[in-house]
Amino acid sequence: MSDSDRHRIITDLLRERPFASVRDLQERLGVSAATIRRDIDKLHEIGKARKVYGGISASDSAALSRHAARPYDENRDLAVEAKRAIAAKAEGLIRDGDSIIVHAGSTCYQLGTLLARRNVRIYTNSMPLAAHLGEHGTCHLTISGGELYREPGIIHDAAGGPPDFFASRFFVGTQGINSEGLLESHPLLVKAIGELSQCADEIVLLADSRKFSMQPRNLVLPLSRIGTIVTDDGLSDADAKTLEDAGVTILIANVAGDQN
């Protein structure tokens, strides 16, 4: 396969998904990591894609807007006030002694930091959250086993199944939401969320209102699986009705400072 053929395949792939890791491209193209890195450098140089940590992302602003997927380091700095307000509201659902699962993602990270010194048992597959809790927390911490995927920032065993951990609640974020359910573009997150969703009594979605305008391609969980959503006061009436029709309990966090 020629350089130009590989470059065409990579750019075509990035029209379907906003990010591809070096490993993803190795498996897709059957070449060495060194070859993939040279391809990434070339595509970055000519402006057809953007070199990012661990792989390559789409440079086309429309593609980024459509899929709305960004590396964790970028996404954590977006809508920070809303994420903190959502996390604070969600903390009120957790009682001392609870066992919970906190998934990867920037809003879930904000929740995890609030629980660092609480008397709770936390299972997480989030590399950033595990590092924070290990250094600053006193809670009982169980970390997912497997390989480290720096983007999207999770620890995951691709050959494993659901962990041997049962929780009262699974707190999860999402890249996008529509009437069908939770949406993600990264196939690894689809698999990980599906497995963890089997290990809790209730699934609690933490998602700021921007997520209703984002439509990545993969359905992760139907809305019928979600017990509660904690979102911000930017939620539209139409989106609220969609959630209510699916039987989802809605908790609203006031971004200006929730006093309830």
* Contacts with 146 (C-beta within 8 Å, 6 or more apart), sequence order: 155, 156, 157, 158, 160
Both tokens of 83, joined, read 């994420």
pLDDT at 232 exceeding the cut of 60: yes
The confidence score (pLDDT) of residue 10 equals: 92
Whether the CB-CB separation of 172 and 205 falls below 8 Å is answered with: yes
- Sequence ranges of the domains in the chain: 3-67, 74-253
| φ, ψ (nearest 5 deg) of residue 90 | -65, -30
* Contacts with 131 (C-beta within 8 Å, 6 or more apart), sequence order: none
**Segment 151-170 mean pLDDT:** 92
**Topology of domain 3-67, CATH:** Arc Repressor Mutant, subunit A (1.10.10)
Top mean pLDDT of 77-86, 125-134, 186-195 is at 125-134
The confidence score (pLDDT) of residue 3 equals: 92
Q: Under CATH, which architecture does the 74-253 domain have?
A: 3-Layer(aba) Sandwich (3.40)
Residues paired with residue 253 on neighbouring β-strands, in sequence order: 232
The string of pLDDT tens digits covering residues 35-68 is 999 999 999 999 888 887 677 877 644 444 444 4
The confidence score (pLDDT) of residue 145 equals: 94
Closest of 190, 170, 243 to residue 69, by C-alpha? 190
Closest of 56, 69, 51 to residue 23, by C-alpha? 56
141-147: long-range pairs with CB below 8 Å, 24+: none
Rg of the chain on CA atoms, in Å: 19
Start-end of H helices in 30-171: 33-45, 61-67, 72-75, 80-91, 106-114, 127-136
The confidence score (pLDDT) of residue 71 equals: 59
Confidence grade of residue 243 (pLDDT, cut at 50, 70, 90): very high
What span, in angstroms and rounded, lies between the C-alpha atoms of 40 and 25? 10
The mean-pLDDT minimum among 10-24, 89-103, 125-139 falls in: 10-24
What span, in angstroms and rounded, lies between the C-alpha atoms of 195 and 180? 19
Quick check: bond before 152 cis, omega within 30? Answer: yes
